[in-house]
Structure 1
Amino acid sequence: MATTPKPYKTKSKVPVVSESAVIASYQSLYGNPISVLTNSKNGLSAKAALDFLNLSGFTKEEFQDTFKTNVKTIQNYVSNSSKLDAALSEKLLKSFSLFDKGIEIFGSAKLFHQWLNTPSYGLGNQTPFDLMDTITGITLIEEELIRIEYGDLA
């Protein structure tokens, strides 16, 4: 049974910055597993969560469901210049990396977001977005993107 992809929308009041500029500002933090580990343990600035929210096009509800935190809490952390805990930092870094690959393959965050909300044969007809709430799910989505990149869709 085919489902209609969720629409791409963002309701953020933060100024829009180019996708490539946002990705570029975080690439060195997730470029290799040691960077991800070190930067996760050190904790990302809470601003990283808002940057991801803007990049991804997730609604506040989608963000909150995926990252198990409230946007209002993140905004308070930003006001207090607080850092995020290791688990949330790791998930954000893996998500930035995922969007980097998705934008590379699909051409824009908007198109990648649409794909994330479409059932994928390579993921057992599950919607990729529904897997993003765990590191394992993000890894499975990354593997599916690599298969798409190389034309291995069977």
Structure 2
Amino acid sequence: MKNKAYPINESTSQIVSDIIAPYHKMYANPIALLSSSKTGLNAKAALDFINVSGFSYQEFQDTFKTTVKTIQNYFTQDLTLDASLSEKLLKSFALYEKGMEIFGSAQAFHAWLNTSAYGLGNQIPFSLMDTITGISLIEEELIRIEYGDLA
């Protein structure tokens, strides 16, 4: 599945960092992640993730197994997301933060997500993001890249 072009310049990378920042404390450690997930995120978190990730609406829907229209309705009604979706969003925010740290920008990380990765069995990382295990595998690959272990 090919992702849409995602135009980002350096000022956009700062905006992306600013969007992610409020969620950082919610996934800073496993206990915070669990607690925040069980409490449920405000639906705005999903809309923020769409802005950060560059996912098309269809890609978001395929990855998170919910419709953007549902998210928008939840946002309008000031409802919280369920624990499962909240957890996946928080793990995805953490993933993007790590990816930007390693690749230097949201644009570079987004490009990597859509390129086959040797350490992931030549799979495209984006295609693994629909499960928590897939997100964890991508995180592990990012750590290997960070430490120069590309084999």
What is the TM-score normalised by the length of structure 2? 0.92
Quick check: 1:81 aligned with 2:62? Answer: no
Of 119, 124, 129, 2:121 maps to 124
Letter in 2 for 1:92: L
Structure 1 residues 64 and 109: alpha-carbon distance in aligned structure 2, compared to 1, 3 A threshold: same
Aligned-partner Cα distance in 1 for 2:55–2:119: 23
Runs of 4+ in 1 over 6 A off after TM superposition: none
Q: Does the CA-based 8 Å contact 1:131-1:137 persist in structure 2?
A: yes
Correspondent of 1:41 among 17, 21, 38: 38
Matched with 1:61 is 58
Alpha-carbon offset, residue 17 of structure 1: 7.7
In the alignment, what sits opposite 2:144?
147
Q: Percent identical across equivalent pairs?
A: 66
Aligned to 1:105: 102
TM-score, normalised to structure 1, is: 0.90
Letter in 2 for 1:83: T
SS in structure 1 opposite 2:148? coil
- Cα RMSD over matched residues? 1.7
Distance 1:17 1:148 in 2: 23
Shift of 1:128: 0.3
1:107-146 C-alpha deviation (Å, 9 max, x unpaired): 1112111111100000000000000000000000000000
Q: Which runs of 5+ in 2 are unaligned?
A: 8-12
Kindly indicate which of the two structures has a greater share of residues assigned to helix: 2
5+ unaligned residues in a row in structure 1: which ranges? 11-15
Please list the CA deviations of residues 65-91 of structure 1 after superposition, one character each: whole Å capped at 9, or x if unmatched: 100000011001000000000000000
The 8 Å contact of residues 7 and 114 in structure 1, kept in 2 or not, is answered as: no
Q: Contact (CA 8 Å) 2:3, 2:55: kept in 1 or not?
A: no
